[in-house]
Chains A and B, each alone.
Chain A
Amino acid sequence: MTRRGPFLLAAAAVLAALSSVPTAKAAVQAPDWVLRAKETKVDPAVLQARPEPGATVLWRQRIITAGSSSGATRLYERHAVRILTPGGASSGTFYSHYDDDSKVDVEGAWTLHADGKAEALKLADVVSVQAANPEYFTDTFVLAFRPPRLAPGDIAAYALSRRSRRDVYQWSLDLQGGDPIAAQEVVIDLPEGWGHRWRLSGAVDGYSGPRSGEGGPKATYPFPAQRGIQAEQRSGARADLSADMEISILPPAGKFPELVFQSWNDVAAWFAKKSGAVRASPPPAAVPLFTGDAVREPARWVQDRIRYVALEAGEGGWVPREPALVTKRLYGDCKDKAFLLLALLARSGIEAYPVLTRGTDDGAIDGDFPSPVQFNHVIVAIRQPAPSGLAAEIRAKGLVAVLFDPTSPWTPYGQLPAQLQGARGLLVRSDGGELLDFPFAPSAANRLVRSVDADLTSEGGLRAEVTETSDGALSERALYQAWTPQERTDAISRFAEREIRGSRASALQLGNLGDPGKPMEARFHLASEGFLRTTGALTLLPVLPFAVGPGRIAATAGAERRFPIHLGAPERRELVVRFRPGPGLKIDALPDPISAENAYASYRFAAAVEDGRIVVRETYETKKPSIPLSDWTAWKAIEGAAARAAASQAVLVRAP
């Protein structure tokens, strides 16, 4: 799992504090490659992004090497970036990372000022922070540094080398980043007799050559200018936005075979070997024998009783701990929980397998690049004697199984957490591995139903009971479970305030909070003075409080959208609002119905008078996980319909 964000911030904060300490710097000369980078012509097209980039990478070079005897591989990086604005100076803060199995050597970092004078970073000013806390302990160190006195117009540059983890012979190099890149190349420099295989993922700007290939020990891959990647709402995982070059190093036949992954079977065999000892260990005696459902009961027990604490230093990042130890500590990480559950199921003679995976929010798994580095999570596939019809059911070779995530504390057996719906995973069996596509649950399973029963007062106020049930990917159970009772009440107060300005929520009641097998229910009372908008003789009623339609995707000022619209797992949201007009208020006009439907989603809104009440119904349902950019208008139709509906008002008049 990657949780380096807070540690990057910590490193940056220390760096900022250190950079304010004056240090004497001798006159220096920047390396030739930095001086050459200064002359790089930047394709104006990559600078036309909106908002304007704060920095531009002038030159980036990555060189991959390997030692013929030791087998250690090394990645050399050279990077020169021109700072364009004061805010762009943050692009001159560079990061890398290392752990017990790898090492970073910062060869140098330089500032080449606009006047041609250079300054060098004192290497003692490089800051590193261990990305660890007691509940997420890793041996990873985040390293940060910044060349001195960076200002707009300056070039910040660095050169470093990073030794790879010994147990993986692959590199995945991003070809795009937040800043535009004027020029870059990837160089392969291996010993004689070695080779490499490569492939590109994602769209590389201006590149029309082959997307994959194999080569010998020496090769150079230049790439044209790349646009910077701007954050776009609903664009899915950040990792899926940039183009990457994936490289597998191929030593001579018979050399370092355990580090080379030619197929998914190789990856499965590698993990089977890592986890073999634990798989063979006896089931934990401390866990009681379950008397109920032989699958659901132990599955729930592991989810509920084993606290998530990850100890991922060294081999601990890949090798699960013995179930007896996990049971004693009552804590463990995803693989610890998965192998504990496997042991408990085995005790009952139930066949189950570990599945390596990664949530869609961390990026899609590339099926053409067999590698352990694509995974950061382990779940379990439990054999079914016959198809069960459960949403989490998959079919593999000779196997019908239900996927179950023992790390997700509130996802019931038979369902997958939202981020695993539509993901991929490697089923690991003793005879090999199989890459599986995980299913999506139907939209009816990922469901939110909200109702608002409201009385309008003649003074323009509103009193309402709001009820909400949620299930599947839209379930709010995990949120409520993480909150204290006071935090729940406060959260509802904030929610009400956001939806109806100046309103007050009270009397929150929760149903099925501790039962993941049932939809969770939240109910609260709401009061607002001045909900109606009286203007002259007219009284306007906003008819969609607590709307469930999709939010608008904010445009990036002046920029065309670049990436598909990510909708995620299919879902269905429904709202029914019933307004009872108070004494003296008469319904004069209702808004027209609004609807939009296409292959990706549907939206419906309608208001009617039923039994003297205004009844408003709104439904939003998604059908596919994403909308290609070529169908941007399909999204705009849905979004526009929802926005028009959200602004709709009924007209009331004062009865004589």
Chain B
Amino acid sequence: MTTKARFASRVLAGLVSVAAWLAPAAPLAAARWMPSPADKLIVEDPGKGIVGAIYLEKTLRSEDGAFRTTVRAKILSKTGFDVATVEGLAPDAWEISGRTISPSGGVTELASKDVRTITTVKAAGVSVERKAFTMPALEPGCFVEYTYKEPGDFGAHSAYHVEIPYQDKYPILKQEVWTPRRFTYSSTTRAQNGVHIAIREDGSHFVYSAADMPATHAEMYGRPLNERSAVVIFAFVLPGISGSNVEQFWKDATQLALVPAVKSQMIRSGRVADRLKGLAGSREKDPGVRLRAIYNYVRTTIKNRSALPAGETEPRGGWKPNADAGDAFAHESGTPSEMAAAFASMVRADGWKYRAVWVSDRQSRYFRPGVPSVFQFDGWVVEVSDPADPARRAYASFEHPLLPFGIVPWNHLALDGLAVDVEAGTSEKLLLPILPAETNLRRRIWTISVEEAGDAHVERRSIWTGYQSFQVRSDLYREGRADYEKDLRDQYEKLDPPSSVDSLAFDKENDPDEPLTSTLRLLTRGIAPPLPGGRIAIAPLPLLRESNPFPVDTRHDPISFPFPYVNQDYVTVVAPEGYVVEGVPGPTERTSAVGRYTLTAEKGPGEKVVIQRTFTLARANAGPEVYEAYRSLFEAAIRADAALSVVFRKAAPAKASS
């Protein structure tokens, strides 16, 4: 641009801004909306979920590359004031206006100087700013109305894949999203919680509208907002991948996007042939050993750049860039995706069938085959099957260096993935299998030696398998041994009664194919208080540190645990010198639709009581209608744990023998 042209453009911009300033009517002023008599009658009604505030109307309008948001809401009590604070607007948002209408009808305008620009982050010479404001003159019973326009098809939230929720912290009486009929995004609606989103044509627009949406709130072991809410999903249409229907879309997407993405990272079989030579097992004779050997070869030969152990840093000068799996082998380091490509290249060269399974991360979004969007995925894992026995399949992921063979991170489980046959160029929906509870075992063997003064020496030997072992291993890996132990000491000191850690030892912490074991020794103070009558009582199971995650009465969202599991505890309580076992508690058993809890106690050899406790969470995922089954199971377990007491009494002095 020439200097003259630049000057002209500045003048023009100046004139435009002056004209905007002189314009007598801002959008809201022009509309002059006032609440209806029905709006004025709305009051808090906790029974109907109307608490704090209510959105009367939300209108989101995409037009000519700009996105206008208009919100009208009523504040019902002070807990709803936050409905009138707006953050995260694009820094160049414009036509921002708002007003508060008091219960008596008085109007207070949002002053333009009260719209603030906040620097979210400044780094590397780049400054990221956002606009924000809070409405004035708030009081229970007032109404707020605000509007603003942002650049981009979806404003500050513009992306290739945009999910617009129709539910929020407060109920919404009406919400509409307007888009041009000629739009570079496909759209899909998802009904949920009784909210149905209707689509209609209005002139040159599509309008997605819904009414009477209930509020939604995050719950323990629940889902992210976009997954628990009714939504409209817009996905950018990539050239050539449009498809007249969803089936055709995935066919095109597989061939034009997903297969090339995997192939571009894989290397031809000849380049990995030598690497296969020294590996254990053979596909024909010993397929399990062979596959595991290939997996471990990749896992240990290529350092995982995205998950370094505690205290380790990237090399001086940074990582060398990798173009494909060959570079990852050459540089002995790579991303999880490059490692997966290296593994896929090797199993292909070894004669296995394989597929790349594209997966999403359930902590942010579920993959839905009905949504024509390739931007739903978080990465891919490798499915391998034996050509001689195609039904036997194994899944390999390289997201963490201590993932054992056959274990895919739990955040990809219990939802669909897309299995892509890279060689054939086809794909199909696939649900990654969840391993049964028994494979995710935590078994702990406790010996609690009680002293007359009420303290106890505790030894705990633990063994973890499956996801349970991975969880502990990855914590150790991330924190480092010293800091892990420091945290553990701190946690035990804060228990009631307190314990001090005498020693902690681990075995097989860096060998994911083996169960992880550890031995912990504690001194627990004041765990066995005296009882009237010269007795000592001990309630040992609080040492297990279990808790009930579901103390509240209501549940709206499905329950989604990371994985099913079994926790077994064998506890031997040894009487102090000179004491005998007086009482042993009876058994407890609880079985619900989602798991089982059993607790037994019996007198062991000598003056000991042996307790066996098993808690099985068999079903990791279920709808809210099953909530009571979860709640009652955890509740019964925690109650029985707390109630279990072992009582010792002083032994009668032995009679002198003549």
Interface set of A (CB-CB < 8 Å, partner B): 10-11, 14, 18, 20, 22-25, 51-52, 54, 85-87, 89, 117, 119, 124-130, 132-135, 137, 141, 148-152, 305, 307, 309, 328-331, 460, 481-486, 489-490, 493-494, 496-497, 500-504, 506, 528-538, 540, 551-552, 554-558, 588-592, 643-644, 647-651
22 residue pairs of the A-B complex, CB under 8 angstroms, read A85-B311, A124-B123, A128-B119, A128-B123, A132-B116, A133-B118, A133-B132, A134-B87, A137-B116, A150-B313, A330-B137, A330-B139, A502-B642, A528-B639, A533-B537, A535-B537, A535-B644, A535-B645, A536-B582, A557-B493, A588-B532, A647-B497
A-B contact count (CB 8 A): 231
Which chain A residues lie closer than 8 Å to B313 at the CB level?
Answer: 148-151
Which chain A residues lie closer than 8 Å to B483 at the CB level?
Answer: 54, 85-87
B274 at the interface (CB under 8 A from A): no
Least CB separation from B601: chain A residue: A535
| A52 → chain B closest CB, angstroms | 7
| B571 → chain A closest CB, angstroms | 14
**CB-contact partner of B122 in A127, A528, A551, under 8 A:** A127
8 shortest A-B CB distances, which residue pairs?
A: A22-B318, A502-B639, A536-B583, A86-B310, A589-B532, A535-B583, A87-B483, A86-B311
B46 with A25: CB separation less than 8 A:
no
Q: Which of B481-518 contact A (CB under 8 A)?
A: 482-483, 486, 489-490, 493-494, 496-498, 500-501
B498 with A152: CB separation less than 8 A:
no
| B167 → chain A closest CB, angstroms | 16
**CB-contact partner of B552 in A119, A483, A490, under 8 A:** A490
The answer to whether residues A89 and B585 also contact, given A494-B552, A536-B647, A589-B533 and a CB cut-off of 8 A, is no
B124 with A307: CB separation less than 8 A:
no
A494 with B551: CB separation less than 8 A:
yes
Which chain A residues lie closer than 8 Å to B486 at the CB level?
Answer: 51-52, 87
A151 with B311: CB separation less than 8 A:
yes
**CB-contact partner of A643 in B79, B137, B526, under 8 A:** B526
Least CB separation from B311: chain A residue: A86
Contact with A along B620-658 (1 / 0, CB 8 A): 000000000000000111111111111100000000000
A590 with B553: CB separation less than 8 A:
no
| A233 → chain B closest CB, angstroms | 8
Q: A25-B317, A127-B121, A557-B489 are in contact. List 12 more A-B contacts (CB 8 A).
A: A124-B124, A127-B122, A134-B132, A150-B313, A328-B137, A331-B136, A502-B640, A536-B647, A537-B583, A552-B498, A555-B498, A651-B531
B636 with A502: CB separation less than 8 A:
yes
Which chain B residues lie closer than 8 Å to A330 at the CB level?
Answer: 136-139
A647 with B120: CB separation less than 8 A:
no
B268 at the interface (CB under 8 A from A): no
Question: With A and B bound together, what is the CA distance between A382 and B498 in angstroms?
Answer: 49
Q: Which of B132-165 contact A (CB under 8 A)?
A: 132-134, 136-139
**CB-contact partner of A502 in B81, B582, B635, under 8 A:** B635
Least CB separation from A643: chain B residue: B526
Least CB separation from B81: chain A residue: A307
Question: With A and B bound together, what is the CA distance between A12 and B122 in angstroms?
Answer: 12
The answer to whether residues A536 and B482 also contact, given A125-B124, A649-B531 and a CB cut-off of 8 A, is no
A22 with B319: CB separation less than 8 A:
yes
Which chain B residues lie closer than 8 Å to A555 at the CB level?
Answer: 493, 498, 500
B86 at the interface (CB under 8 A from A): yes
| A135 → chain B closest CB, angstroms | 5
Question: With A and B bound together, what is the CA distance between A128 and B125 in angstroms?
Answer: 11
Least CB separation from B539: chain A residue: A533
Which chain A residues lie closer than 8 Å to B582 at the CB level?
Answer: 535-536, 538
B65 at the interface (CB under 8 A from A): no
Question: With A and B bound together, what is the CA distance between A557 and B499 in angstroms?
Answer: 10
Question: With A and B bound together, what is the CA distance between A135 and B133 in angstroms?
Answer: 8
Which chain A residues lie closer than 8 Å to B317 at the CB level?
Answer: 22, 24-25
A87 with B585: CB separation less than 8 A:
no
Which of A482, A490, A500 has the largest count of B CB atoms less than 10 A from its CB?
A: A490
Which chain A residues lie closer than 8 Å to B122 at the CB level?
Answer: 127-129, 141
Which chain A residues lie closer than 8 Å to B500 at the CB level?
Answer: 555, 557-558
Least CB separation from A500: chain B residue: B642
Least CB separation from B554: chain A residue: A486
Q: Which of B546-579 contact A (CB under 8 A)?
A: 548, 551-554
| A199 → chain B closest CB, angstroms | 35
Which chain A residues lie closer than 8 Å to B493 at the CB level?
Answer: 554-557
| A272 → chain B closest CB, angstroms | 27
Which chain B residues lie closer than 8 Å to A18 at the CB level?
Answer: 123-124
Which chain A residues lie closer than 8 Å to B639 at the CB level?
Answer: 501-503, 528-530
The answer to whether residues A534 and B586 also contact, given A85-B480, A134-B86 and a CB cut-off of 8 A, is yes
Question: With A and B bound together, what is the CA distance between A502 and B79 in angstroms?
Answer: 30
B316 with A531: CB separation less than 8 A:
no
A128 with B529: CB separation less than 8 A:
no
Question: With A and B bound together, what is the CA distance between A269 and B639 in angstroms?
Answer: 63
Question: With A and B bound together, what is the CA distance between A205 and B313 in angstroms?
Answer: 35
The answer to whether residues A484 and B479 also contact, given A149-B316, A150-B313, A538-B647 and a CB cut-off of 8 A, is no
Which chain A residues lie closer than 8 Å to B531 at the CB level?
Answer: 540, 589, 649, 651
A486 with B51: CB separation less than 8 A:
yes
Question: With A and B bound together, what is the CA distance between A632 and B337 in angstroms?
Answer: 58
B498 with A484: CB separation less than 8 A:
no
Least CB separation from A540: chain B residue: B645
| A601 → chain B closest CB, angstroms | 19
Which chain A residues lie closer than 8 Å to B286 at the CB level?
Answer: none
B636 with A493: CB separation less than 8 A:
no
B482 with A85: CB separation less than 8 A:
yes
The answer to whether residues A481 and B78 also contact, given A18-B124, A532-B643 and a CB cut-off of 8 A, is yes
Question: With A and B bound together, what is the CA distance between A51 and B643 in angstroms?
Answer: 34
Which of A149, A536, A551, A589 has the largest count of B CB atoms less than 10 A from its CB?
A: A536
B389 at the interface (CB under 8 A from A): no
